[in-house]
Amino acid sequence: MADLTTRELVLVRHSLPEMVASVLASQWRLSDEGCRRCEPLAQWLAAYDLAAVITSTEPRAVETGQIVAEALRLPLETAPGLHERERGVVKSIGSREEFQRTQRFTFSDSCCIMSPWPKR
């Protein structure tokens, strides 16, 4: 009979992106701070004995996954359909300040803020 080992699925949101008004959100890349936050994320995830890192195809998710996978010496895969939300066409963003305020709010709970829960 096959070994039916129980595995856990650990979901992590991408790290902090560089928000650029002239670039579609689906194409944003990680900010320098977002890159820095990935190393402590990898250390935190090490407790989960992961088999692989799988990301959406969005650049910020792939970059987060690359840094984590490299730190943990795990394979990295991308999969379509894992993006965090469906984005429609935005008719008007408003002022630069409104755009930045909205984006700060949207990304205020970035994945790389460490959980207060104990490791397993």
Q: What is the pLDDT of residues 53-108, one digit of tens each?
A: 999 999 999 999 999 999 999 999 999 888 766 665 555 667 778 777 777 776 66
Per-residue pLDDT tens digits for 3-46? 567 677 888 989 999 998 888 888 999 999 999 999 999 999 99
* pLDDT score at 111: 45
SS (H, E, C) the chain: CCCCCCCCCCCCCCCCECCCCCCCHHHCCECHHHHHHHHHHHHHHHHHCCCCEEECCCHHHHHHHHHHHHHHCCCEEECCCCCCCCCCCCCCCCCHHHHHHHHHHHCCCCCCCCCCCCCC
More confident residue, 52 or 93: 52
pTM of the entire predicted model? 0.68
